[in-house]
Amino acid sequence: MSAETITSSEYIKHHLTNLTFGRHADGHWGLAHSAEEIQEMGFMAIHVDTMFWSLFLGTLFVFLFSRAAKNATAGVPSGMQNFVEWIVDFINDSVRGSFSGKNDLVAPLALTIFVWIFLMNLMDLVPVDVIPSLARMMGIHYMKVVATTDPNATFGMAIGIFILTLYYSIKIKGIGGFLGELTLQPFESKNPLLKLLFIPINFLLEFVSLIAKPISLSLRLFGNMYAGEMIFILIAIMYSAGIGMGLFAGGLQFVWAVFHILIITLQAFIFMTLTIVYMDMAHNEH
């Protein structure tokens, strides 16, 4: 979509709108072609572009790492094998430093989270008009390529981690131990009456803390990536303001892209680290 044929506001809205599939007001199912149709579809609509790019990049991750594992040799390693071994060693060191329990799932989970989120974030470095323009040539009206700018994706991953945390909290500590953590701390007393009084207060504090984990985990990733994508879109608008502004925008885009490499890596690392920490908390009894 060209920024020269529409207003800046319309350009921004277009690039921040997901390709949505759902039920239209007249009852038939299909893709939405406007913001109004997306709103009519309601909660049960599916963001097709988020699903496609997240699954595509997840499949790419599995393919590359499984191929590197199959072609691994004891001799001189290839560049791909070196790269994969470096990432695996980095993840193992992170797990050893933050996870004190014993669970063979944690390291593969951390590896999957880090690489998958990094690949989804990396799509932010693709020029904002390239893929949407190609999609429009094929009759696809909307196309957001950065899945982590969609709160549905970040909340989905965070809720998955939250469910695993609850599962292992109950499995390791039992239902009584888990409920005890929610009701018998941080305020304690040997007096039975005070202990009963502290139970609802402790539950309120611990429940808020528990629910805040998936919310903060998802919103942190979404907020940072959404802001980064917005800056790229605003820079892209500058190209339509003349040659001088276009040259300035090119330099600005390069500087922001270099800086953004740190952001996309850091956000993947933070999500992975917090996942390890939450799993460690689920395995430790208080």
Model pLDDT for residues 207-223, shown as the tens digit of each residue: 999 999 999 999 999 99
Q: Average pLDDT of 98-122? A: 93
pLDDT digit string (tens) for 135-178?
Answer: 988 888 899 999 999 999 999 999 999 999 999 999 998 898 88
Q: Which of 72-81, 160-169, 276-285 has the lowest mean pLDDT?
A: 72-81
pTM here is 0.89
Residue extents of the structural domains in the chain: 8-283
Q: What is the pLDDT of residue 156?
A: 95
**pLDDT for residue 5:** 62
Q: What is the DSSP string of 209-255?
A: HHHHHHHHHHHHHHHHHHHHHHHHHHHHHHGGG-HHHHHHHHHHHHH
Let me know how many helices (H) and strands (E) the chain has, helices first: 9, 3
If DSSP codes are grouped into helix, strand and coil, which group holds residue 29? strand
pLDDT surpassing 60 at residue 1: no
Tokens of 212: 């805040």
> What residues are labeled active site?
216, 220, 224
